[in-house]
Amino acid sequence: MNIQFILNGDDIQMTVDPADRLADLLKRKSLADSVHVNCGLGSCGRCMVICNGRPANACMIPAFQLRNAEIITYEGLVQTPEFLLIEKACAQHGLELCQFCKPSVYLLLAVLLEQHNRPSGDDIRQLLSAVNCRCSASEDIFTVAAAVYHLKEGRFNGHAGK
């Protein structure tokens, strides 16, 4: 079948098997090296993408549901100001993620930034538990998550970088 979707702002058209999964498509066609196909069960979260504004496991998105979807991967996030905020918060708190976990954790942090209301501690824990990060401690990531939101508020209030 032919599908069309938006990947990091680019229109993508391709012919696929309906049972193909987004994670495999991105990997096979070299569209996003940051997406790691690990468990294939929607469990590990290392194939995280933002699908229509919400975090989703790319291994759980069949090709036939991709039609007209808007997908953002880590490669897309890198080009945004949110990425810089996250990088800054990580550097401030000494969080060093491995290259397998970093893209997914960053995407989830970016989703937090998009929320209108300040996320509660439980919201942060729930959301970030979507990645089974094996390289860093949960508390460190939660701290960075809170700091990212704080930086965003600072930016809106004109205190960025202070």
Partner 1 sequence: MAMRVNEVASPKTLAEAVAFLRRHPQALPCGGCTRLLPDPAFAQKNLSLLSLGWIKELQAINRTDRYIDLGSCVSLNGVLALPNIPALDPLKKALLTIGSASIRNRATLGGNICGRDSFGSAFPALSAMEATVELRSAAGTQWLSIHDLVGQDNLPAIPAGSFLDRVRVPLRDWEHNCIVRKGPGLLPGDTNITLTIVANIEKDAISEIHIVLTGRQLVRNRALEMRLTGKKLPLPAKESENCHHDFLESAVEAGLPAGQAIAVADSVRAFLVDLSGGAS
Partner 2 sequence: MDKRGRSAETGLPILSNFRAADLLYVVTLRSPVARGRIKSIHIPHLPRGYRSITADDIPGEPYLEVFGARLPVLASNQVAYQGEPIALLVGPDPARLREALELTHITVEAEVPDFNFNQFNSERIAARDSRQYGDVELAFSIAQQVVEGDYRAAPLYHAAQEAQGAAAWFDYDKLMVRTGCQWPHLVHRQLAAVLKVKDVEVVVEAADPGTHLDSRLWYPALVACHAALAAVLCGRPALLVLSPEEDFLYTTLRSPVFCSYRAALDKNGNFSALDARVIINTGAYGVLADELSRQAISAVAGAYAVPNLRVQTFAVRSNLPAMGPLAGMAIPQVLFAMERLANDCARQCELDPVRFRAANLLKRGVDGPQGKRKKNIPFSQLCEAVCQASDFYRKHASFELVRKRHSDPGSNPGRGIGLALSWQPPAGLSAPANVYSAAVEVELTKELKIIIRAGLVPGTGGTVAIWKALAAEIIGQSPDTVRIEPVTTADLPDSGPSTLSAGITLIPQLIESACHTIRSRRFREALPIKVKKSLRNRPREAVGPGDGCAWGVAAVELDLDRYTGQPVIQGIWLAINAGHILDEGKARRSLAASTALALSQVLSERIQFENGQVGANAWQQYRLARFMEIPPIHISFCGNEPGSPAAGLGDLPFSLVAPALTNALSQARDTAWLADFAGDIPHGGDR
| 43 is an interface residue for partner 2 by CB under 8 A | yes
Distance from C-alpha of 64 to C-alpha of 128, rounded to nearest angstrom: 28
| Residues 76-135, interacting with partner 1 (CB under 8 A) | 108, 126-127, 129-130
Closest separation in Å from C-beta 92 to partner 1: 25
Cβ-based neighbours of 92, under 8 Å, separated by 6 or more: 147
What gap in Å lies between CA 43 and CA 130, rounded to an integer? 8
| For partner 1, the closer CB: 20 or 82 | 20
Examine residue 41 and tell whether it contacts partner 2 (CB under 8 A). Answer: yes
Q: Whole-number minimum distance, CB 157 to partner 2, in Å?
A: 29
Across 16-115, the runs of DSSP E, i.e. the strands, are: 48-51, 54-57, 70-72
Residue in 10, 28, 64, 91 binding partner 1, rule: CB under 8 A: 64
CB of 147 to partner 2, least distance (A): 15
**If binding is defined by CB under 8 A, does position 32 make contact with partner 1?**
no
Closest by CA position to 101, among listed 62, 157, 144, 152: 144
Task: Please report, as residue ranges, which positions from 101 to 140 form the binding site for partner 2 (by CB under 8 A).
Answer: 101, 125-126, 128-129, 131-140
The answer to whether residues 129 and 74 touch, using CB atoms and an 8 Å cutoff, is no
